[in-house]
Structure 1
Amino acid sequence: KFSSFFHIDSKRLLDYWLAYLKMPKEASNETERLMLGMLYYSFYKKKPAQLGFKDLHEGIKDFLKEDFVKEELMDVLRYQLSQLTVLPEANEYPFTCPLEVHCHYNVNQIMAAFDYFNQDQSPEFREGVKYFADKKTDIFLINLNKSEKDFSPSTMYEDYAINAQLFHWQSQSQDRPASPKIQRYIHQGETGNLISLFVREFKKQGNYTAAYTFLGNADYVSSAGERPVSFVWHLHQAIPASLLAKANKAIAL
């Protein structure tokens, strides 16, 4: 039941969640509000009102109403804190977002961090790409190794690291260069639109859905072809060596 926490390696997030669980209180700033949403959506997929809760706090409280469950979760978070090896870097967003570059997050946590999942909404999300128009930010959720069991032939894209800062990525299979979305990607440097990459090696890790490594922002380098369009992106922050070895050779099978 706590599999959504086994990958968490952001000290800031762990510290806040532990402090909140010891003494629940209203968020004192925008970052805390978003981190509280990330905690709620680590338990649930639907917004509070859909599940009969007044707010995020009530949902969290209900999930942890048994003392032993709350203690068990705090033990998991303390353990994660004791095992930290990632040296996170700050994100470059001009808006508030608690994500730290090179830390790991699942889809719900990412959506809550961008305020797409929050107190009042939790829209359906199944795509590997998402545009947050209010933030002028596109995010790409990338699976490096794709198995035919999990992906249809039309989604067996070739996504891989060329080197520590260049990443080859393919758009969705129906995309043409002239489409507004692809044009937005190509001209992101001129328009100030942000592109962020999230990568995981496999869809599953054991019995659990794997989390993504947040690679930070990237700039357009080149594109070619259509249906899908192949892109090369230049990451602002180099891919960590431990992930690079996997991302470099993880071309779709």
Structure 2
Amino acid sequence: MTLAAQTTALVVEDRLSTEPLAVHAHYTRDEVLGAIGAATPEKPPTVREGVVWAAEANADVFFVTLRKSDKTFSATTMYHDYAISPTEFHWESQSTTSIASRTGQRYINHAGRGSRVLLLAREVPEQRDFLYLGPAQYVRHSGDRPISITWRLDCELPPLFFLEARAVS
């Protein structure tokens, strides 16, 4: 085995041992929360919002619905979330989150604080499963209540999903 192949095998093996979710696989909200330890059979998930702070995993988990309608979303939850490129994603925080808040600071400074951001998306609310886009890193932000944040994805979006996610912008 070449050095490059050995290194790749070690990286894959290391990520599999620390990541309970496979990038670009589909999961329900409950499966994600169970996988990262934020829910158990004894303590089932009760969260239905698109944002979850999972203290057990030291991670913010974002469940994004790309195509929203006023039939299923209120005016205050019609966030403008979309793919900028195969490796960058525009996301809006909850409408009550300010830059100065603990939550806003956790988003913006997650890397320095040692926490992670996990991004999942689905096209429409009728889809039960979300596509796990993977871990994401803060790039920049603008605005307040909601905060518009650009995240850099650790893994490129699948090409067909990128086309769908870009089309909503």
1:68-87 equivalence runs, <5 A: none
Name the CA distance, whole Å, in 2 between partners of 1:232 and 1:125.
24
CA displacement, residues 55-76 of structure 1 (integer Å, 9 cap, x when unaligned): xxxxxxxxxxxxxxxxxxxxxx
Secondary structure in 1 aligned to 2:86?
coil
Which residue type is aligned with residue 120 of structure 1? E
Kept in 2, the 8 Å contact 1:91–1:216? The answer is no
1:210 Cα offset (Å): 2.9
1:199 Cα offset (Å): 0.5
Which residue type is aligned with residue 113 of structure 1? A
Is 1:190 matched up with 2:136? Answer: no
Is 1:172 matched up with 2:94? Answer: yes
1:96 Cα offset (Å): 5.6
1:119 Cα offset (Å): 3.0
Identity of aligned residues (%): 35
Change (3 A) 1:215 1:127: same
1:92 Cα offset (Å): 4.5
CA displacement, residues 115-174 of structure 1 (integer Å, 9 cap, x when unaligned): 222132114111111111132111100000001101001000100000000100000011
Secondary structure in 2 aligned to 1:238?
coil
Q: If you compute each CA radius of gyration, which structure gives the higher value, 1 or 2?
A: 1
1:190 Cα offset (Å): 1.0
TM-score (norm 2): 0.87
1:122-141 equivalence runs, <5 A: 122-141=44-63
Kept in 2, the 8 Å contact 1:92–1:217? The answer is no
Partner of 1:110: 32
CA RMSD after TM alignment: 1.9
Q: How many residues align?
A: 158
Question: Structure with the greater relative contact order (CA < 8 A, sep ≥ 6): 1 or 2?
Answer: 2
Name the CA distance, whole Å, in 1 between partners of 2:167 and 2:95.
22
Query: 5+ residue gaps in structure 2?
Result: 1-11
Name the CA distance, whole Å, in 1 between partners of 2:30 and 2:14.
18
Change (3 A) 1:178 1:112: same
Partner of 1:231: 149
Query: 5+ residue gaps in structure 1?
Result: 1-88
Change (3 A) 1:93 1:231: farther
Change (3 A) 1:114 1:152: same
Structure with greater strand percent? 2
Secondary structure in 2 aligned to 1:100?
coil
Q: Which residue of 141, 166, 169 corresponds with 1:248?
A: 166
Kept in 1, the 8 Å contact 2:90–2:148? The answer is yes
CA displacement, residues 206-226 of structure 1 (integer Å, 9 cap, x when unaligned): xxx431000000100001111
1:95 Cα offset (Å): 4.2
Structure with greater helix percent? 1
1:91 Cα offset (Å): 9.2
